[in-house]
Amino acid sequence: MGSFTRRISGADGRRLRSRRRAVSIVIGGSSHGRHTFLGWTYHFQGRVEEAIAECKRAIELDPEFGNPYNDIGAYLIELGQFEEAIPWLERATEARRYEPRHFPHYNLGRAYLGKEMYSHAMRCFQEALEIEPRYSLAQQALASLRRMVN
């Protein structure tokens, strides 16, 4: 783990107030970006509910910013809450501003895979690869899913 990740994840024991200042410096002026990044930080600390709350704050500030929708969906997938993840990920795929655009398609595929909706999952992994043909996680997921259903 690099020093940046240790610093952001809290492994060095800094107080939350210091991390918030660091996030402001790293992200810069956008409040929605800071909340999304702080959510990402909380996620890596295992504080998933707080991560989701920060992402929701980011959405309140800028509903067209797709990253926090994807992050909430990904966190819900990790919690095994596949059904709850789907609307968040669908919003991420529709967001005006989102980079990288293939992530929510891949995560939507993961949610459908968790629900054993294999044809939907396959379609989502294919959509991720249409956007980013070299995305290895989507390549692997699609290949694995094809082996499983054949």
8 Å CB contact between 8 and 19? yes
The tens digit of pLDDT for each residue in 59-77 reads: 999 999 999 999 999 999 9
**Is the pLDDT reported for residue 133 higher than 80?**
yes
The whole-chain average pLDDT of the chain stands at 84
**Is the pLDDT reported for residue 50 higher than 50?**
yes
Domain 85-150 has CATH 1.25.40.10: yes
Task: Give me the helices (H) in 62-117, please.
Answer: 67-78, 82-94, 102-114
Per-domain residue ranges for the chain? 1-62, 85-150
The tens digit of pLDDT for each residue in 78-87 reads: 999 999 999 9
Q: 116-125 long-range contacts, Cβ below 8 Å, gap at least 24?
A: 118/145, 118/148, 118/149, 121/145, 122/146, 122/149
Strand partners, 65: 97
Query: Which H or E run includes 150?
Result: none
